[in-house]
Structure 1
Amino acid sequence: MIDMIKKFIVENLKKYNYNGVVIGISGGIDSAVVGKLCVEAIGNSNVMGLILPERDSSPETVNDAKMVCEFLGIKYKVINISPILKKIGVYNLEPSTFFIPRKIQEKYVRKEFKKRNYTDDLMNKGDKDFLKGLAYYRIKHRIRMVLLYFYAEQINYAVIGTTNKTELKVGFYVKYGDDSVDIEPIMHLYKTQVFDLAKELNIPEKIISKSPSPDLIPGITDEYAIGISYKDLDRILLKIENNKDLSDENSDMVKKVKMILKAAKYREIKNIHMDFY
């Protein structure tokens, strides 16, 4: 598996005449795994990391991301995107949290998030405040992607993606944000398979053991946002993919996953246009 992915990276960089890769390092497991695969495939001198925190990022984000970059032995830049988001007016959508302790922020956000439904997020449903929240967090991924391409194109590097198969299937990505890249080396792997691969690649235990998070809103992890653990989600997704019996699964959980898959179809539409002949 590792050799096949490395070959995929090398062949596609050569095919499209790229000199190397730029990767957004989040301090999470996906970017750590992809970064390690790239380093093993093309050497650390041809891999550049960007660490792009902002006002709502976890205090651990930058430190964990730096640790990953140092583990990989790659050059990197830390760019706080808060000034860009502030200039655009993004932070005007939510009250300032500057004087509020992080734990209180997280508790409040989790309480508010319980009122949301992940499928509504996928289908752009909800009241004015709900839609405002979508705009508030989605633009962060899009600004990060703009910066990744800005730095990549100056040195003819490819922007490499970190989306896995679980995220793809359930729509856990931002359109024209983290889905807009040149190469996706782990999109064929479910999240639980990425964890297995991380162990094979000797990714630092701190990164493997931390709860995956989009790091867009205080206190919200992937599993909290989706409403199901990756272990349960991947198991059911694999059964559905392989047309296996689901009778031994919790019926409510299966219903939830099927609803998410249906709603996720909305994320597959890149654009809507009319062809003139």
Structure 2
Amino acid sequence: MSFDPLTVSEEIQGFIRRFVETNNYHGVVVGVSGGVDSAVVTVLCAKALGAQRVFGLILPDRDSSRTSTRLAVELCEEFGVPHRIFSITPLLRKVGIYRMFPPAFIFPRRIQENYVKNKWRTLSRDPYLDDLLDAGNAFFKKGLAYYRIKHRIRMCLLYFEAERRGYAVAGCVNKTELKTGLYVKWGDSAADFEPIAHLYKTQVMELAKLIGVPRKIVERPPTPDLIPGLTDEFILGLNYEELDRILMKFEMNEDLSNEDPGLVQRVKQIVSAAQRRRIANVRFTD
């Protein structure tokens, strides 16, 4: 699948400008996480509209990596994007979320990460498929509720910030995430417009290099940053190069005989289970 990042960059910037102007928004709010997807969206919005018409909202919680917050701030500062750090920890604590699991701050980050990885491996035969299907035992479902509410609270704050400014909320979900269900329904999938939803993750990373996203962000292992230690590729069970290559072949109906049959089957299982994420607003007339 051919991909020209320069052309794509120009096309997305035009899309951003048209969307904002056509719908009479004054600017754009982006949830800046310290990851490559939100970095690409932030930079493209700044290039399209001017940095002063973009606002970066950085929303860490107790479990977030400090590196994520630092990289998010550095990105906004480098591109002149006004920004604010707002910890959602007090909100989550008020709701009672942290009472679901023991406090983690008393342990070094490395111990937290190793504990979570080991726990993930033992939760079920296939934790990610159970996640997609809202399956698993009571403890596992408690974990789903624990991490998903974080993105949903972030969504509320993004819209609060956007609406009081007359801004639009820019989404940061990519095509790989949409196909594999690697997002939270009514959380990071909720936005007024999606600048990179037509790009696979590997394409987003190529685009990031072209538009000047710092290498520290581009080369950092992608992570949801909702629970310590879990990276995207650890959760999915394969790397993005493999995943995107197979997804593209699915899309183009290309021959898969030279792919590892086990990986192809894994991707098929994930894509099938991810259909459940799309259940939303089902009406009687449907």
Please show how residues 1-277 of structure 1 align to structure 2 within 5 Å: 1-115=8-122, 116=124, 117-275=127-285
* Pairwise CA distance, 1:122: 0.5
* Pairwise CA distance, 1:225: 1.1
* Pairwise CA distance, 1:119: 1.1
What amino acid is the match of 1:152?
A: A
Q: Deviations along 1:90-126, whole A, 9 cap, x unmatched?
A: 0011111121111111001000111342111011001
The whole-number CA distance in structure 1 between the counterparts of 2:254 and 2:143 is 37
The whole-number CA distance in structure 1 between the counterparts of 2:86 and 2:220 is 23
SS of equivalent residue, structure 2 residue 29: strand
The whole-number CA distance in structure 1 between the counterparts of 2:79 and 2:168 is 18
The whole-number CA distance in structure 2 between the counterparts of 1:228 and 1:269 is 26
* Pairwise CA distance, 1:275: 3.1
* Pairwise CA distance, 1:271: 2.2
The whole-number CA distance in structure 2 between the counterparts of 1:156 and 1:57 is 29
Q: Deviations along 1:17-48, whole A, 9 cap, x unmatched?
A: 11000000001101111111001100001000
Deviates more, 1:96-105 or 1:73-82: 96-105
Q: Deviations along 1:121-157, whole A, 9 cap, x unmatched?
A: 0110010000000000000000001000001000100
Structure 1 consecutive aligned stretches of length 4 or more whose deviation exceeds 6 Å: none
* Pairwise CA distance, 1:15: 1.4
* Pairwise CA distance, 1:269: 1.6
Q: Deviations along 1:44-78, whole A, 9 cap, x unmatched?
A: 01000000000000121211110111122111010
What amino acid is the match of 1:256?
A: R
The whole-number CA distance in structure 2 between the counterparts of 1:202 and 1:12 is 23
The whole-number CA distance in structure 1 between the counterparts of 2:249 and 2:155 is 33
The whole-number CA distance in structure 2 between the counterparts of 1:231 and 1:202 is 21
* Pairwise CA distance, 1:16: 1.1
Count of aligned residue pairs for this structure pair: 276
| Structure 2 residue runs without a partner (length 5+) | 1-7
The whole-number CA distance in structure 1 between the counterparts of 2:105 and 2:194 is 36
The whole-number CA distance in structure 2 between the counterparts of 1:206 and 1:103 is 20
SS of equivalent residue, structure 1 residue 114: helix
* Pairwise CA distance, 1:234: 0.2
What amino acid is the match of 2:238?
A: I
* Pairwise CA distance, 1:262: 0.4
* Pairwise CA distance, 1:263: 0.3
TM-score of the two chains, using structure 1 as the length reference? 0.98
Task: Percent identity, please.
Answer: 51
What amino acid is the match of 2:221?
A: S
What amino acid is the match of 2:116?
A: V
SS of equivalent residue, structure 1 residue 50: strand
TM-score of the two chains, using structure 2 as the length reference? 0.95
What amino acid is the match of 1:18?
A: Y
The whole-number CA distance in structure 2 between the counterparts of 1:34 and 1:98 is 31
The whole-number CA distance in structure 2 between the counterparts of 1:104 and 1:114 is 16
* CA-based RMSD: 1.0
